[in-house]
Each structure stands twice: as structure tokens, then as C-alpha cells.
Amino acid sequence: MWNVIITGITSFLTDVSSEMFYPLISFYLLALGAGPAILGIVEGLAESIASLLKVYSGYVSDKIRKRKPITILGYSLSAIGKLFLYFANSWIGVFIGRISDRFGKGIRTAPRDALIAESVPENRGRAFGLHRTMDTLGAFLGVLLSILIIKSLNLPEASSNLSSYIPTFKTIILISLIPAILGVLVLFLVKETTPSRALNEKKRIKFQWKALDRKLKGFLIISLIFTLGNSSNQFLFLRSQNLGASLLDVLFLYLLYNLVYTIFSYPAGFLSDKIGRKRIIILGYIFYGLVYFGFGIASKFSQLWLLFTLYGLYTAFTEGVEKALISDLSPAHLRATVIGLHATLVGIGLFPASFIAGLLWSILGPQAPFIFGGIMGIGAAIGLMFIL
């Protein structure tokens, strides 16, 4: 469990850093003069371009039999991305910062998750659940710190003049660099767990789609389809503002989401070890569909508290459990490659998802992207009932 704890601490610190500013990105872009369409392009391209690295970094990790150096490089790039955000004077600067951050995540995700899976051959649901709990606890603390910083400055809560918040945004970004750097340093304590050279020589690293488990291939395809309706969380924040939420209201809603996510991540992983991954993931997708339908038909701010609670349940029921499922179904010598392939497929879908959401919002109104997302979520849940 040493590696699970160390990677968990790193994720905790990194999420403190990331989530201090993540829920403010849409406001930052608005303050710099960008609208929903630009938000969709920035978030979609950043996620998709960076995600192309995920399968490649997993393949390289399997080939060189090392997880640690690639993981450290990934977390380092995410820290560097904060500097680009800090110096941004237009949406282009924000885009570069997000690309750097997502590149870092793209590089680190597969080798880190393979390292966790190899550290705990049994009860992987619990291991990934614990890791997600520590990760999300950091997100909770990061959002809380952001709220405290903004409150301490006694700024007006009205979001109509967001340009006045730009110095505050930059202060938060600068402070967020501290836990980001600490997270990278802690990761040097992790221990390598890759297969021995003899095993790798016996099983050459050769990826073939047709050789993968049938259930695994089906799950990967459904994940890609589901992602087409899973636009960036920034649209949830934008919708919240559309329903009357102030900047601080959005932060408190996101705080609630992370609290629910933190509380239920480990129990979801534990349950998946007991009753199977399939039921937990399907339940999570159903929650997602209901949440997005809810955001589509919501008419007042008070309804957002329930919606963000259910959204936390969706994430808790899917994030760690999906990784445990993929680790179970993938060949041992290609585990990081397959984990990376899943992340890449999801990332490829994120650009069209966010781009479509931005267009639907601009053309048909703020309800449209969420109705579309709800349909895709329920459809994916039904598909998994037959695939897994």
C-alpha cells in the first residue's frame, strides 16, 4: 500500500493546486473577453490534444519497464502550466496553460494507475477508491482555500464586472504553485513495481486490438460514445451562473460536489470488489444522465445543490471503479498501455463534446447541451448492461 499512499499524497497536493483555480477558469475567460464558444474550444482542445499522449505514455512505460520517471514528468508539466495561466492576458494564454496542464495529466495517468494496480494485485477497487478519496480531498481543500482567499479580499460578489477579479485570479494561481511543487517532490518517494525484464522479454510489447478481452473492447467503445455527451465541467459552472449563481456560489457548489465525491469514492471501490464493477459503473452513468437532464430543465438556483450532490455521486461511482475494471480486464504486460488507451479515447471525445456543447449553448440556448448530455449518459448506461 506504500505506493498507493504516496501517489495519493501527490494527487492530494496536486488537486489542492489544480482545484484552487479550476472552477474559476470559465470566469477567468469571461473576464478576458471570451464567451461560451471559446470556452468549448479551450477546454475541448486542451483535453483532447493532451489525451493523445495517454496511450503513448502507457506504451512507453510498459516498454521501458518504468512508471516513476514518466509520472514525475507529468506532474511537473502540470505545475508549469500554472505559470502560463498566471501570465495570461488573453484566452490564448489560458489555452497554453491548460494544454501544459493536460499534457502533464496525459503523460502521468497511465503509468501512475498501472503502478497502483501492480502495487495491489487484489482489492484493486479499494486501492483506486482510496487514491480517488485522497485526490478528491485535495480538490475539496483547494476549492475551500479559493473561497477563503476571495472572502478575505472583501470583493463584491456580483459577477457582472469580472475584470475586477483578474488580480484575485492571478493571486490564487500563484499560491496554487506551492502544493503543485510539493506534490512533485513527494512522488520521488514512490517505488517501482514494473514486471521483471524476464517477463517482458517473454511477452513482447505488442498491442493488438483484436486480442483484447471482448468486454474490455466493448467498454472502451461505450466510454468513447458516453464522452461525446460529457462536456467540460466548465459548462456546469457557466450554467450555474446562468441560473443566478455568483462566483462564490459556484465555488460552494463545487465544494459540495468534491465533498460528496470524497465521501463515496472509497465505499464505491469497496463495493465494486464485493458486488462487481458493472453495477457500480452503470449506476454512476445513470446518475450522470439524471444530473445533466436536471441542469437542462433547472429553473432556479436552489435546485443546483441537489444536482451537484448527484454529480459527486456519479464521479465517485465511476472514476476509480473504471480504472479497476480496466486493470482487471487488460493483459498484465499491456496494463499501462490499455489504461492509457482508455484515457486517450475519452480525451478524443472531449473536444467534440465541449465544442458541441458550446455550439448548442450559443445556437439553441443554455438548456440544449445538458439535454444532449443526459441522453448520451442514459444511453451509455443501457449499453453497458449488455456489454459487461
The pLDDT, as a whole number, for residue 140 is 86
The answer to whether residue 194 sits within a structural domain is no
Average pLDDT over residues 255-280: 88
User: Which range has highest mean pLDDT (140-149, 206-215, 335-344)?
Assistant: 140-149
Res 213: pLDDT: 78
Pick from 114-123, 204-213, 283-292, 345-354 the range whose average pLDDT is largest.
283-292
Instruction: Report the CATH number that the domain containing residue 101 is assigned in CATH.
Output: 1.20.1250.20
pLDDT above 90: residue 381? yes
User: What pLDDT digit, counting tens, does each position of 289-326 carry?
Assistant: 999 999 999 988 999 999 999 999 999 898 888 888 88
Higher pLDDT, 124 or 176: 176
Which of 130, 140, 128, 151 lies closest to 16, judged by CA?
Answer: 140
Task: Answer yes or no: is 196 within a domain.
Answer: no
Is residue 150 domain-resident? yes
Whether residue 13 lies inside any domain: the answer is: yes
pLDDT tens, residue by residue, 1-55? 788 889 889 999 999 998 888 888 888 888 888 777 787 778 777 776 666 777 7
Question: What is the tally of structural domains in the chain?
Answer: 1
pLDDT given for residue 199 in this prediction: 45
- Is residue 284 a part of any domain in this protein? yes
The yes-or-no verdict on residue 156 having pLDDT over 60 is no
d(C-alpha 39, C-alpha 29), whole Å? 7
Q: How far apart are CA 107 and CA 87, in angstroms?
A: 24
Q: How far apart are CA 283 and CA 274, in angstroms?
A: 15
Query: Are 10 and 187 contacting, i.e. CB atoms less than 8 angstroms apart?
Result: yes
pLDDT the model gives residue 314: 92
What per-residue confidence (pLDDT) applies to 157? Answer: 54
Distance from the Cα of residue 47 to its chain's centroid: 10
Q: Does the pLDDT of residue 154 top 60, yes or no?
A: yes
pLDDT at 180 over 90: yes
Per-residue pLDDT at 198 exceeds 60: no
pLDDT of residue 160: 56
Average pLDDT estimate for 98-112: 85
pLDDT for 208-222, tens place per residue?
677 777 888 888 889
Question: Is 154 inside any structural domain?
Answer: yes
Q: Is 21 domain-assigned?
A: yes
- Domain span including residue 292: 2-189+209-387
pLDDT confidence of residue 155 = 59
Mean pLDDT of 237-255: 89
Amino acid, res. 134? M
CB 264 within 8 A of CB 272: no
- List, in order, residues 6 or more apart from 285 with CB less than 8 Å away: 226, 314, 318, 377, 378, 380, 381, 384
Residue 136 lies in a domain: yes
